Amino acid sequence: CVALLLSAYASGAMAQSFTPQQLDEWLKAGASFETGKDSGPLVQAEKAIIESAADPKLRAASEASLLRALETATTREGRGFLCRQLYIVGTVRCIPLLEKLLADPDASHMARYVLARLEYPEAAVALHRALAGTSGAARVGIINSLGELRHEPAVNDLVELLQSDDLESASAAARSLGCIGDRHAVKALRDRRNTAPSGLRQRIDHALLFAAEGAVTVGRTDEAAATYRLFYTDEFPIHFRRAGLRGLMGIEGAAPTDLLVKAIQDEDPVVRSQMIAIMTDAQGSSATRMFANLLPSLPVDSQIEMLSMLAVRGDSAAVPA
């Protein structure tokens, strides 16, 4: 709906339907809005903000009106409403005020939401600056946003937070370091894993896998392979071992097939089933023949699963088996 309105305004199909004075009045009502009050002015203000987004001059004026209203907002609902409108028309000019709101428990979430979606490097810098002055849920939210934005200058601070006794902050730091995924972040995650409590260690493991996926996309395959090999050991639960092996096969093609063959012969039926399910990731007819040769040695339930996956592979090398 918003996209259609913006398209219509951009094409000139609709003329401006409000005055700056009207918008100021509607936003003034929004700044003090509380649940149960008349929401009519908020509806009018939102329509006007959407309309103004397609016109640079009108957008700048609307942003200025929003900032004036936000500076004097007196309710949590009002601040949230005004922040949501800045998401539509906000530019680099709104960043300083939003940064101030990051320390306000009643407004931090919405201010962070807008900052994390503004396509200006200054927004990530503002979030990073606010990190030291926040705590609790506000700090966790900022940590998560810095990871989503892949703000590399925050890595040192995130590494420090990874050592925190606050499990929520440390877990968020692990996740964000995995999102950023540079070599420094990965090394910090692996080092911390050795001493982390079990709850945090699981978050670190997920973060390392995520970092490995990111490394593959930018061509750092040796680094990713090292992480995937780390996970393919008996130390890890089956879903991590499976992820590690799939990652290796994605990088090295048929080379890790012998590892998969060995895993399919595991005594644990759950392990066998999980590993048979990723047979399609192994490349080449030689891999197909290796899988087919396993059939006589497997229990019947595993044979049935194996036959199904050989069919999915669609390789004629499996026909004799």
> What pLDDT, in 10s, does the model give residues 227-240?
998 888 777 888 89
Q: What is the pLDDT of residue 86?
A: 95
Instruction: HSE, CB side, 13 Å, CA atoms: give it for residue 90.
Output: 29
Q: What is the pLDDT of residue 9?
A: 44
Q: What is the pLDDT of residue 250?
A: 84
In which residue ranges of the chain is pLDDT below 70? 1-15, 253-255
Q: What is the pLDDT of residue 5?
A: 47
Q: What is the pLDDT of residue 11?
A: 45
Q: What is the pLDDT of residue 13?
A: 43
Q: What is the pLDDT of residue 301?
A: 95
pTM beyond 0.75, yes or no = yes
Quick one: tokens of 220? 């750092």
